[in-house]
Structures are given as C-alpha cells and as structure tokens.
Amino acid sequence: MRELVFKFEGFHINKRGLLFGILFILISLIATGCGSESSETHAYQLAPLEDMHPYVQNSPDTVQQAYQFAHAHPEMLKAVPCYCGCGGMGHTSNYSCYINETNGEKAFDGHALGCSICVDITQDVMWLMDTGRPINEIQEFIDKKYSAFGPSNIP
C-alpha cells in the first residue's frame, strides 16, 4: 500500500506530518484563546466600561480605552492639546474630544469615535504615563508628534 504524500512546489509532506501540523495549530489556537485575560498593569486606572455611552461600548478596544481614560483622568487630557482640527468645534483640549463640559455638566462627545488622531493622542498619553513620564514631557512629545496634523486646540 502506498503512503499518501502531498507535494507543494518542492516540499513533500506525508499524511502523518500533515496530521501533526494540524494538531499543533489547533493546540496553539486553543492555548492562545485560554490566555485572553490581560495581566497588564498600568500606572493609571480606567473608568468602568459599563459607565460609557453605548456607542463607546460597541467601539474597538483602543477607542473604548481612550474614552475610559478620559473619564478617569480629565485633568491629564485637559493639559494635552488635540491636533485634529477640532478647535473650530469648540474643543479646547484632547479631553474635549471625549467629554463636553457645559456649565459644570458633563456630556458624552462622540467626536473621538470617528477620529483616529484624538484616540492616538490619548493612547500615547496612556503609554507615556506607563513609562513614568511627567506631564511636561508628555505635552512635548504630543506637540512634536502631532503638530504636523493641524493647529493646537489649546487657546
């Protein structure tokens, strides 16, 4: 009886090799799925996702985390400009892209749901906080990286 052999442009694999390859891939996928819990620790806390607007809850992880960070750390993002051009919308900092404050009342602002520059700036702030950078270095980094996109929205 002849053994079944698969040939792929100069590469030969027998039935047993194919079986072991498929088994290895399946075990790897299962093991990866079991490790979905994040064990990352950060230098900051995030507001609970349940407290976010339903649009945020149904957004990609980076957008969710940016909104959660904005809710938990308003003073940090109020000190950081946004460079997406949102100053014309009345935004006065990166924080304004997430939360609209009028007369002391806070309301959801959906601008950052569709603006990658806003979210990228916030993600960079989060990363720089994790590395222990002080606010003045964070501001300098954001200014250097994003000022090419447009004017600062901090008056």
Query: Which stretches of the chain are DSSP H helices?
Result: 15-34, 54-57, 61-72, 74-78, 116-130, 135-146
**Closest of 15, 41, 44, 10 to residue 125, by C-alpha:** 44
Higher pLDDT, 28 or 41: 41
Q: Please state the pTM of the whole predicted model.
A: 0.73
pLDDT digits (tens, 9 = 90+) for 42-91: 889 999 999 999 999 999 999 999 999 999 999 999 999 999 999 999 99
